[in-house]
Amino acid sequence: MSQREQRETGKASAVILRVGTRGSQLARTQTGHVREKLSNLGFDAQEIILTTRGDQQQTVPIAQIGNDGVFVRELEKALLEDRIDLAVHSLKDLPTAMTPGLEFACVPPRATPFDVLVSREGIGLSNLPTGARVGTASVRRRIQVQAIRPDVKVVPIRGNVDSRLKRLENDELDAVILAAAGLERLGHEARISEVLRPPNFWPAVAQGALVIQINSANHRVRELLRPIHHPETYFATIAERALLSSLAGGCLAPIGSWGRFEQGKELSLGGCVLSDRRGKIEIVTATCSSQVGDSESAVLLGHNVAAELLNQGAQPLLDIMRDDENVSD
């Protein structure tokens, strides 16, 4: 009996699930956590590695490779062609517009959503010396660093987590800005010098969250994934993505957001829009709270925070952002 027949008939001793992932160390580690959860449920979760455009061109700014989705399109194609049963993504990498024929089946519990500073001397951002070299490929991160420390030099870098940390050891950089979740998942949390939190430093939309994407026609896999779904993470990130979508921003836009449950089903959602056109840094922020218990109420909260950002004067910054060709995150 073929693997596909086993999946469709359920006659195998363990249900086989083909799990698609990017080939980077972080992606495979993240997927490994999901595979472990699936294995604990009795499934045979088999890793299928696929290479994306973002992985193939690591020395090129993301904005020059193409629009958002450069880390996910090949995985989505494999889902649509039934070459894999599910794909594990960093949720912040997915465009806000869902690809027809695909859906989010599961969002596991979120890791730390914030950015962190890793410095060669183990000191925080405010203590870096004047002229210190801080590495990041993200416009969102760069603007916020420069808002706090206009005297440091922000250096554009790409590559995996280990290669970025290596540049500290080689004395090329004094510090780098990375996602806390990536360091934690790779076992590098001891390297963190400072956790950068709102309202001074906003993370990317859905940062720290994973998502399992499936073909919408695959009803059986959707049900199999239900035990590892985390509703609170799902609602918080759906609200963040709705905010981003309302502002017509892609996953590469310099827009930050963070949603978290504070009291029962009260979801607090904050966001910011950033700009540094002609050397002038501008940051607009807004926060709203609401009772959230389903997707519709989470989306509405995202729309409300987006509307408040516009009321606070974000529209001119969004217009500037759309003219900027280098908005990689």
Taking only the tens place, the pLDDT of each residue in 104-119 is 999 999 999 999 999 9
d(CA 171, CA 76): 39
d(CA 278, CA 306): 25
Q: Do the Cβ atoms of 241 and 96 come closer than 8 Å?
A: yes
Are 60 and 82 found together in one domain?
yes
Are 216 and 69 found together in one domain?
yes
Half-sphere exposure of 250 (CA within 13 A, CB side): 18
Mean pLDDT value across the chain: 88
Is position 68 within any domain? yes
Are 288 and 172 found together in one domain?
no
Are 39 and 121 found together in one domain?
no
Are 187 and 140 found together in one domain?
yes
Q: Do the Cβ atoms of 71 and 55 come closer than 8 Å?
A: yes
Token pair of 162 as six digits: 């280990």
Are 218 and 79 found together in one domain?
yes
Half-sphere exposure of 48 (CA within 13 A, CB side): 19
CA separation, residue 280 to residues 51, 114, 143, 258, 273 (Å): 38, 25, 10, 25, 14
| 276: DSSP letter | -
pTM for the predicted model, two decimal places:
0.87
Are 175 and 319 found together in one domain?
no
CATH at residue 222 = 3.40.190.10
Q: How many domains does the chain have?
A: 3
Q: Do the Cβ atoms of 257 and 244 come closer than 8 Å?
A: yes
Residue range of the domain that includes 121? 115-196
Are 261 and 307 found together in one domain?
yes
The 10s digit of each residue's pLDDT in 162-221 is: 999 999 988 899 999 999 999 999 999 999 999 999 999 999 999 999 999 999 999 999
Is position 328 within any domain? no
Q: Which residues are catalytic?
A: 93
Q: Do the Cβ atoms of 107 and 214 come closer than 8 Å?
A: no
